[in-house]
Amino acid sequence: MTFLLKRSDFSGGVRVVRTYAERLRARGHRVVVVSCEQPPEPLRRRIKRAATGGGIAPAPRRVPGHLDGCDLDHRVIPGGRTPSADDVPDADVLVTTWWETAEWVRGWPARVGRVVDFVQHDERAIGNPDAATRARIEAVWREDRPKIVVAGWIGRAIEAEGGGRVVPVPNAVDTDLFHAPPRGKQPVPTVGFMHTHAAFKGPDVMMRAIAIARAAVPDLRVRAFGHADAPASDPDLPAGTVYRRQPPQREIPAVYAGCDAWLFGSRCEGFGLPILEAMACRTPVIGTPAGAAPELLGPPPGGGEPAGVLVAMEDPDAMAAAIVRTVRLEEAAWRALSGRAHAVAAGYTWEQATDRFETELRAAAKA
């Protein structure tokens, strides 16, 4: 089987592709990942990043990503050109991972395999596409071939545009990596978040919520990590934020576990992997109803107490109030919330997700 990526970077979507590729290979499948070389960081952006001190860093030969350091058969198309069928091996199945990659494979010979579209977001919501681009995305959705989606809401969006067979396969969490022992609250109230400059991730809402919450909890500490450049003087970060840029995966669980609550402020999200990761580390999440947050943070289907806190979109006051309530919970109540968060995350394993993903690929290959 072949996974076709537009590029390899540090996005959550690429991390999910790597996870499936490694797990499917471990099950005996021959797996190849093909991606396009990403252009290096523009000079203007490097100058801006260097303005906080030091010289201008040389342009990297290749932009780093989640596929670095793994032993998958990863083939990079040089120069950023659009791949052709000659760039991919013979296979039983070819998995596209972005609407443009789904366009590329039109007209490719049968030897590349049956095409399955793996959709991890409503791609119309990313990058503010114009009307013509939105029409191209929707045309891809309507193509008569299987589509695996990471959340039910994405499937409903595709079906609303006349798309064909859609199969939800929710993302999961690596509990061998993301875990923490039971604990109580932090000695000093602490919240965390993933830092980004992407507006659809809601950084402005989270920053404003923290500022409001600090009026009630002046000693509120803040921890964050992300891929964004964030010097100590970054005005986008709350004062005193302990920030880690691109920390190794093995160090991220300690960031989650060092918080009383994790903030998720997205305006639009495919799934929201950080929600599951934080919950697996026994950290309650305060989040907007984007991606899979309603299912993960809301009341369980059979009734009972929720495993997190849902707040309205675009409402920093509501998020701030939830921060204050959570960090002020009695120890026993916070531990109970922490335990419910962990229990929900434990129900989303990559083994189960890979079972379902593999089943759909096998069905496509036999069709």
pLDDT computed for residue 54 by the predictor: 44
Alpha helix stretches (DSSP H) within the chain: 12-26, 43-50, 99-104, 131-142, 152-160, 203-216, 252-257, 273-280, 293-297, 316-327, 331-346, 350-366
The pLDDT tens digits along the chain (367 residues) read 999 999 999 888 999 999 999 999 999 999 999 999 876 656 665 565 555 444 455 555 567 889 998 999 999 999 878 999 999 999 999 999 999 999 999 999 999 999 999 999 999 988 889 999 999 999 999 999 999 999 999 999 999 999 878 999 999 999 999 999 999 999 999 999 999 988 899 999 999 999 999 999 999 999 999 987 765 556 678 999 999 998 999 999 999 999 999 999 999 999 999 999 999 999 999 999 999 999 999 998 888 999 999 999 999 999 999 999 999 999 999 999 999 999 999 999 999 999 999 999 999 999 8
- How would you list the strands of the sheet with 73-77, edge to edge? 73-77, 32-36, 2-7, 93-96, 114-119, 147-149, 166-168
Q: Which of 179, 154, 186 is nearest to 167 (CA)?
A: 154
- How would you list the strands of the sheet with 285-287, edge to edge? 242-245, 221-226, 190-195, 261-264, 285-287, 309-310
Is residue 360 within 8 A of residue 168, CB to CB? The reply is no
The contacts of residue 146 (CB under 8 Å, 6+ apart) are 116, 117, 164, 165, 167, 360, 363, 364, 367
Report the greatest alpha carbon distance in the chain. Answer: 63
Query: How many CA atoms, within 13 angstroms, populate the side-chain half-sphere of residue 96?
Result: 22
pLDDT computed for residue 323 by the predictor: 98
pLDDT computed for residue 301 by the predictor: 84
DSSP 313: T
* Owner of token pair 């545009």: 161
Residue 349: strand pairing partners: 173
Burial code (b: 16+ CB inside 10 Å, e: under 16) for 214-234 equals: beebeebbbbbbbbbebeeee
Is residue 307 within 8 A of residue 278, CB to CB? The reply is no
The structure tokens listed for 79 are 């120069």
The contacts of residue 339 (CB under 8 Å, 6+ apart) are 182, 282
pLDDT computed for residue 227 by the predictor: 81
Structural domains of the chain in order of their starting residue, each with its CATH number: 2-172+350-366 (3.40.50.2000), 190-346 (3.40.50.2000)
Tell me the chain's radius of gyration from C-alpha atoms: 21
| Alpha-carbon distances, residue 206 vs 73, 176, 262, 270, 303 (angstroms) | 39, 29, 10, 19, 29
